Structure 1
Amino acid sequence: MSLFDRVSLTARILAVNILPLALLGGGIFYLDSYRAQLLDERYKLARIEAQITAEALAGATRERQEALLIQIGKEQDMRLRMFDSEGLLWADSFELDEPRFTLDDPADDEFGLRFARWLDRMVDTVVSAEPVPDYIEPEATTAEPWPELVRAREQGVSQIVLRDAPDGTPVITAAAPLGLNGATLLTTRNAIDITESVRAARSTLGIGVALTLLASILLSLFLARTIVKPLQTLSRAASRVRLGRERDVEVPRLPERRDEIGLLARSVSDMTEALRQRIDATEHFAADVAHEIKNPLASLRSAVDSLTTVQDAELRGQLLDIASHDVRRIDRLVTEISDASRVDAEISRAVFETFDLAELAENIIVTREDRELNRGHEIILTKPASPSFVRGVPIRMERVVENLLDNAVSFSPPGGVIEVTLSHVDDCIALTVADQGPGIPATEREKVFRRFHSVRPDEEDFGNHSGLGLAIGRTITEAHGGSLEVSDREDGQQGACLTIFLPEAPTGDARR
């Protein structure tokens, strides 16, 4: 069993619905690549601006240089500083005019900005971003605290450096040589728009994912509740049934549910009811078996006990006959009981085949005549011109027909006629066995199908029948999807009429 199989259904539903959203939410971390692209473009812009500004300042007078510093600073929102060949600061746009930007103090920020900085740091940690040095405005007014100025003067090419302001926004400084006398230009830009753009994209994505995730969780819980709760109810009811507690416990049928859960609930309820009926039938059958076997056992014990005290040879012979009769009766009972107890299971495992019921009945009648089982009674078979194909287990249907013929022979008067008729009735094949006996009263017609219920003719020896024949016959017939019924003879004459109804096999399945 895998770990996933041990997880509850609710957790599985949540995982299946949340996992895709979680993967989508992971896109927040990959916005860092978007930020890197923006910074790369800004690097190029800062380098070009520094070079162009340095070229413009190189040939200008001191007054013109200061005017350009003020003008470019205003237009580009930058801070421009010029250092002479000795590395001393001799012009600063922020001192010549109002500063174009100020670095925020994070201690004064509201919660939203503090959370945004925390999220920035978390993303940087997850994506393993390279550390960025903090931007610290040096107190000295020389070029030494600025490594980019030193490299630009030494190498004669512009240099770019990225630093983080106290509020987490990027500060881009660009140093470029100014003329040929060793002077340098330093531009400083607080690229707050990059941070705001990334944070806006991240917030939009985060809010969208969060709202969708919340909706998905609520819908998943609702879905889990509609599935899991009825399943739990069914499970608890099934457990009580399994433990044998609360005999009358009702398995909910959930009639309002028209989905698969409702179908399952009704199937479980029907199955439980069928099991209860089967258990009740088994208990009643066991009680009936005990009762039926107890009588011949008591007679047998009485006969055997008397044999030890009786000296008369004739009386001893009678006792031996009684004991022998009781032994045969018990053997017959055990055989019938064994057959009745396993008929359902055997038919449920059997493979049905198509056969002609009329042909089967004809073979049975011929065999009985050969074995002289009809006791002088005439059996007349009437069958339709067309075949009477049904599906089932032929050997089991033979047993049913044999039981009906045995029953008819037992009740028919000497020399009586037994009529076996096959016909097509709607979509069924009907096999009727009619005798000329006393018939079965309407009040007794269902009782004759009860196990061990037997009302035999007075002239018949006691104990020759177990009372299971018709009960077994109905069980086998119903297992074939048919029925076994009792009615009056259609011709109005005296006698019993028992009819087997079996579904007719489709023409395409008919085979001999």
Structure 2
Amino acid sequence: MASDIVSEKSEEGDLVLTWSGRWTLAHRILAVNVLTLALVGLSIVYLDSYRNRLEKERVHKVEAEAALAAAALPNVVPARRQELLGDLGRKSEVRMRLYGPDGALQLDSWRETGPTYRLRDPTTQKWTKDVARALDRGFNALVGEESLEDFVEPAHDHAQAWSEIAASRRSGETEIEIRQAPELTPVFSAATPVAGGSTLLATDNDRDFTRRVRKQRASLLIALGCIAGLSILLSLFLARTIVRPLRRIAMAAHLVRLGRAREVKVPRLPSRTDEIGLLARSISDMSQSLRHRIDNIEAFAADVTHELKNPLASLRSAVDGLERIDDPGLKKQLIDVIRQDVVRLDRLISDVGEAARTDAELARARFEPVDLGALIEQLVSAWETRRETGNVRIAFARPRRASAIVMGEPGRLARAIDNIIDNAISFSPPDGLVEVAATHVGDEIRIRIDDEGPGVPTELREAIFNRFHSVRPDAESFGRHSGLGLAIARAIVEGHDGEIAVADRDDAPSGARFTIILKAADRA
């Protein structure tokens, strides 16, 4: 039956996992997200760190150029100072200006060299520069970089127009300022005091700084593109390991719901130890169980139909005979037949209803501790009180109180044991003895019911637990048993995760021994 609904292959090729088979879904999803976020985060941290290092290098360069010029100027005659600043500015591409004690501009390196850098108008540049500047602003916002002050050459070039010169004159040390040109390239400036109360200002629009930062950013964007590709591949991997098997399982479950279980191949995914594998095996097991129940229901319905037809046919024949027979004796026999058939039908319908309810009631039942010693004692007492045993005696070796406790549904367990006792009584000879015992062995409770009847042939020891299988003693009254008693008992025992079996007695010349094994309840 399992082959009806389980894949013939152990696992379909497109659902097989290799190295990741032991990873749970949560681990895989978390790994993809963490890896992507970590790589993006590391890229941002690296670029920010690289820019900061480069910025410090540029600041140190301008500061060193300003310090060098400030130290050289006092050693040169005033007539040569303009030429000195021109030489230093030409070599370093830094604009150097000297402001006197009164703040007036005295010397300017550009008077010798011409402009060593130009502030460019962004409106005259290509659109690619606009994209680059937009990326600059986005990155600055991402890392929380504060906006720089715009660099604007003062209309009247005087020391008061430069905040770093004022700061340098107050502190007597070199002061640094970083501003941004209109096209967002940095302008580094350093103001340092010169002997005699003058101040030297060095400014540099370092476009190479921006080019290098953007080059690194471009490299990182390529790396992020690779990361995005990797993320897509990992997403496809997750889709393969999650979505595809789930879709396959869902389709199989849908077909099972439509009643096509025999046509369905439910993948079990034996190599997968994650949640998908557990789900696949659970769906497969559920489908097998459903198919098994459907088969049982179909077989049960067919058996019930067959069993009901026999007494109904007998009733129909007897009723038809009553109309044609005038002999009072024959009529009495026919009425007895009708009465027996009615009793048989009543018993059969009752047992059919009991068998049909057993599985459903056990599925809904809440198990509780049951003392089997006290339960069996009540059953034996009830048999003796009703005097339905004829002259068959029942002996019960009651175990020590609370030593034979199981978790179960008391009413169902009582019905299972009662059916076995009823079966033993029906097969016992006149003045026979039915012995009942319950013992605690290891972690199991074993119930033994022995009779002195003919026993059960080896080839029938499994068949007697089938529904409507009945081989009754010749002396038994007609219709007393429906052939469902042992089947009901077995269903109840197995519903309690127990076992039931029959064998020959090993302590008597003849007789059958029914053994019920249930798991003992855990002792508090």
CA contact (8 A) 2:249 2:267 kept: yes
CA contact (8 A) 1:18 1:217 kept: no
Once the two structures are superposed, residues 29-77 of structure 1 have per-residue CA deviations (whole angstroms, 9 ceiling, x without a partner) of 98999699879979x969x969x97x969x9755x24313313313542
The one-letter code matched in structure 2 to 1:402 is D
| Partner of residue 268, structure 1 | 283
| Partner of residue 461, structure 1 | 477
Is 2:479 the counterpart of 1:483?
no
The one-letter code matched in structure 2 to 1:471 is A
Shift of 1:429: 2.8
CA contact (8 A) 1:35 1:198 kept: no
Shift of 1:79: 3.9
**CA separation of 1:165/1:75 partners in 2, compared to 1, >3 Å: closer, same or farther?**
farther
Shift of 1:389: 0.9
Is 2:369 the counterpart of 1:354?
yes
CA contact (8 A) 2:82 2:109 kept: yes
Identity, % of aligned pairs? 43
| Partner of residue 140, structure 1 | none
Shift of 1:425: 4.5
Shift of 1:407: 1.2
Is 2:513 the counterpart of 1:497?
yes
Instruction: Output the CA distance in 1 between the equivalents of 2:438 and 2:298.
Output: 37
SS at match of 1:247: helix
The one-letter code matched in structure 2 to 1:449 is F
Instruction: Output the CA distance in 2 between the equivalents of 1:156 and 1:110.
Output: 33
Instruction: Output the CA distance in 2 between the equivalents of 1:174 and 1:368.
Output: 113
Shift of 1:242: 2.4
| Partner of residue 433, structure 1 | 449
| Partner of residue 358, structure 2 | 343
The one-letter code matched in structure 2 to 1:230 is P
Is 2:312 the counterpart of 1:297?
yes
| Partner of residue 422, structure 2 | 406
| Partner of residue 68, structure 1 | 84
**CA separation of 1:155/1:381 partners in 2, compared to 1, >3 Å: closer, same or farther?**
closer
2:262 to 247, 264, 267: 247
1:366 to 369, 374, 381: 381
| Partner of residue 135, structure 2 | 119
Is 2:452 the counterpart of 1:446?
no
SS at match of 1:149: coil
Shift of 1:261: 3.7
**CA separation of 1:123/1:393 partners in 2, compared to 1, >3 Å: closer, same or farther?**
closer
Once the two structures are superposed, residues 203-262 of structure 1 have per-residue CA deviations (whole angstroms, 9 ceiling, x without a partner) of 576566555555555445435533444333333332332223351533222222344443
Instruction: Output the CA distance in 1 between the equivalents of 2:394 and 2:163.
Output: 128
Once the two structures are superposed, residues 464-493 of structure 1 have per-residue CA deviations (whole angstroms, 9 ceiling, x without a partner) of 211000111111112222211111111351
Shift of 1:265: 3.0
**CA separation of 1:16/1:326 partners in 2, compared to 1, >3 Å: closer, same or farther?**
farther
Is 2:344 the counterpart of 1:329?
yes
Instruction: Output the CA distance in 2 between the equivalents of 1:149 and 1:39.
Output: 31
| Partner of residue 155, structure 2 | 148
Instruction: Output the CA distance in 2 between the equivalents of 1:67 and 1:131.
Output: 33
The one-letter code matched in structure 2 to 1:284 is A
CA contact (8 A) 1:390 1:502 kept: no
Instruction: Output the CA distance in 2 between the equivalents of 1:393 and 1:341.
Output: 17
Instruction: Output the CA distance in 2 between the equivalents of 1:304 and 1:358.
Output: 49
SS at match of 2:448: strand
**CA separation of 1:189/1:502 partners in 2, compared to 1, >3 Å: closer, same or farther?**
closer
Instruction: Output the CA distance in 2 between the equivalents of 1:228 and 1:157.
Output: 63
CA RMSD of aligned residues (A): 5.3
Once the two structures are superposed, residues 361-402 of structure 1 have per-residue CA deviations (whole angstroms, 9 ceiling, x without a partner) of 233222211211111112233355686413122322221222
| TM-score, normalising length: structure 2 | 0.71
The one-letter code matched in structure 1 to 2:156 is L
Map 1:28-43; keep pairs closer than 5 Å.
Answer: none
The one-letter code matched in structure 2 to 1:298 is A
| Partner of residue 185, structure 2 | 169
Tell me which moved more, 223-232 or 150-159: 150-159
SS at match of 1:436: coil
Q: Which runs of 5+ in 1 are unaligned?
A: 1-7, 84-88, 136-145, 177-183
The one-letter code matched in structure 1 to 2:449 is V
| Partner of residue 190, structure 1 | 205
The one-letter code matched in structure 2 to 1:295 is N
